[in-house]
C-alpha cells in the first residue's frame, strides 16, 4: 500500500502571486492523492483566505518574523499534526523551520525556491539550503544551476520542478464571449498582463509601448494589484492614455481575461523563476511577448511559441505587438505552439508526480 504523507507548507509572504497559487494548487492536488496537507502562514493574508476557501487546513502564525513566538507556534503545530515533511517557501519561514527542526530526525524539510534572484554565497545560506533541507526544489533550471553553483550544493539534491497548469481550465476559448464577460470592447486589439504590480514586472514599459503610434487603436489591460499601482496610474494619466488602459485589479479567475487578450506580455526586468502567468497564457493559446530573463527561455521559444524582446525596451514591445496585430498567420502559429508546449510539459499532473517523488524520498520512515 502506498504510504500517505502528512505535509505542512510554511509561507512567510503576505503577498499574492504565482508562489502562493502554486502552494494552493499543489496542496489541493496532493490532498486528492490521499495525502494530509496543511498550510502554516500569516493570518489575514490572501494565502490564508484562499486556503480556507478551498478547505485546506490552515494554521495562523506570525511566521513572517524570526521570533520566539513564531518558533513556538510552529512547534505546537508540529506536535499536533506530526508532519512527515515540512515544505518551506520563503526566507523567514525557512529560518523558523530550521530552528524548529534543529536536532530532530523528523520531519524532513524540503525547501522550494520560487524566485530566480541570486542567492549570496556564505556559510549561513549554505547551511540553510545545503544542510537543513533533505532536498531543494526550484521552479526552473536556471535557478537550480544558480543555487548549485553559488552555494556549492550537491546537484543530486536540487531538482527543477516547473509549476503545473490545469490545461483543462486554462485553454483557448471564445474571445467574444470572454470579452462580454470581462466588459472589454470587442473590436479592439487587446494587450494584457497578469502580474503583481511590482517594479520588476516591467509594467511601465508596456504603458510606454502603448503610446507608440502603431498601437493607437490598442487597449492595455493590467490584471493584478500591488505597490506600483499609484505610479502606473500617474504614468498613464501623464501620457493621456487613461481611456486605453484598464486597471482590472486582482481577479479570482483570470481565465476569461486571458481568453480576451490578443497578446499577453510579461516584460520582466528582474530575474524570474518560471512565471505561472506565462504558462497560463500559453495554455490559453495567447500569443506571448516576454523578456528572456531567468527561467522564461525554458518556457518560451523565440519565434516559435512566443516572441522575445530586450529588457526595458518599450519600442521592442511595440514592434512585437505590431507584428502580432498585423500578421494573423503568425499570431495563430504562436497560439498553437504555445498551447502544445503547455499540454506536453506544464501540466499539474506532471508537477504533482515530481513533487510527490521528492517528498516520498525525503520523508524519514516511521519505523
pLDDT at 3: 84
Q: How confident is the model over 277-290, as pLDDT tens digits?
A: 999 999 999 999 99
Q: What is the pTM of this model?
A: 0.86
Distance CA 186, CA 260 (A): 9
Determine the Cα–Cα distance for residues 190 and 221; give it in Å rounded to an integer.
7
Q: Who's near 16: CB < 8 A, 6+ residues apart? A: 45, 46, 47, 196, 250
Paired sense of beta strands 85-88 and 58-60, if any: unpaired
Q: Single out the residue of 345, 344, 335 nearest to residue 175, CA to CA.
A: 335
Q: What is the mean pLDDT of residues 243-264?
A: 96
Mean pLDDT of all residues in 137-163: 95
Residue 342: pLDDT over 80 = yes
Give the residue-averaged pLDDT of 345-364.
Answer: 93
Q: Over the stretch 77-122, which tens digit does the pLDDT of each residue have?
A: 999 999 999 999 999 999 999 999 987 777 999 999 998 888 988 9
Are 260 and 251 in contact by the 8 Å Cβ rule? The answer is: no
User: Which are the contacts of 94, defined by CB distance < 8 A and separation ≥ 6?
Assistant: 10, 88, 111, 128, 132
Is residue 362 within 8 Å of residue 135, measured between CB atoms?
yes
**What percent of the chain has a predicted confidence (pLDDT) above 90?**
88
- Structural domains in the chain plus CATH codes: 6-164+347-362 (3.40.50.2000), 175-345 (3.40.50.2000)
The Cα–Cα gap between 34 and 17 comes to 26
Amino acid at each position: 500500500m502506498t504510504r500517505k504523507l502528512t505535509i505542512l507548507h510554511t509561507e512567510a509572504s503576505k503577498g499574492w502571486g504565482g508562489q502562493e497559487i502554486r502552494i494552493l494548487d499543489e496542496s489541493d492536488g496532493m490532498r486528492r492523492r490521499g495525502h494530509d496537507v496543511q498550510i502554516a502562514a500569516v493570518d489575514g493574508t490572501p494565502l490564508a483566505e484562499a486556503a480556507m476557501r478551498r478547505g485546506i487546513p490552515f494554521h495562523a502564525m506570525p511566521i513572517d518574523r524570526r521570533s520566539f513566538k513564531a518558533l513556538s507556534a510552529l512547534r505546537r503545530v508540529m506536535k499536533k499534526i506530526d508532519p512527515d515533511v515540512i515544505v518551506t517557501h520563503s526566507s523567514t519561514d525557512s529560518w523558523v523551520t530550521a530552528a524548529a527542526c534543529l536536532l530532530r530526525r523528523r520531519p524532513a524539510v524540503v525547501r522550494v525556491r520560487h524566485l530566480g534572484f541570486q542567492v549570496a554565497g556564505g556559510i549561513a545560506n549554505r547551511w540553510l539550503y545545503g544542510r537543513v533541507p533533505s532536498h531543494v526544489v526550484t521552479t526552473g533550471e536556471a535557478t537550480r544551476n544558480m543555487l548549485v553553483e553559488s552555494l556549492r550544493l550537491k546537484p543530486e539534491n536540487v531538482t527543477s520542478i516547473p509549476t503545473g497548469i490545469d490545461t483543462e481550465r486554462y485553454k483557448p476559448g471564445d474571445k467574444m464571449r470572454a470579452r462580454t464577460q470581462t466588459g472589454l470592447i470587442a473590436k479592439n486589439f487587446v494587450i494584457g498582463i497578469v502580474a503583481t504590480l511590482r517594479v520588476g514586472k516591467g509594467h511601465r514599459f508596456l504603458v510606454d509601448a502603448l503610446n507608440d503610434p502603431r498601437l493607437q487603436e490598442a487597449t492595455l489591460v493590467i490584471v493584478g494589484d500591488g505597490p506600483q499601482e499609484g505610479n502606473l496610474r500617474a504614468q498613464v494619466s501623464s501620457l493621456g492614455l487613461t481611456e486605453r488602459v484598464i486597471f482590472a485589479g486582482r481577479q479570482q479567475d483570470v481565465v476569461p481575461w486571458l481568453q480576451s487578450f490578443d497578446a499577453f506580455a510579461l516584460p520582466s526586468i528582474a530575474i524570474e523563476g518560471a512565471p505561472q502567468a506565462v504558462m497560463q497564457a500559453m495554455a490559453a493559446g495567447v500569443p506571448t511577448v516576454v523578456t528572456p530573463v531567468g527561467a522564461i527561455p525554458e518556457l518560451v521559444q523565440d519565434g516559435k511559441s512566443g516572441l522575445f524582446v530586450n529588457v526595458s525596451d518599450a519600442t521592442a514591445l511595440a514592434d512585437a505587438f505590431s507584428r502580432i496585430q498585423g500578421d494573423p498567420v503568425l499570431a495563430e502559429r504562436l497560439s498553437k505552439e504555445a498551447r502544445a508546449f503547455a499540454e506536453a510539459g506544464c501540466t499539474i499532473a506532471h508537477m504533482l508526480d515530481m513533487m510527490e517523488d521528492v517528498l516520498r524520498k525525503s520523508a524519514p520512515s516511521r519505523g
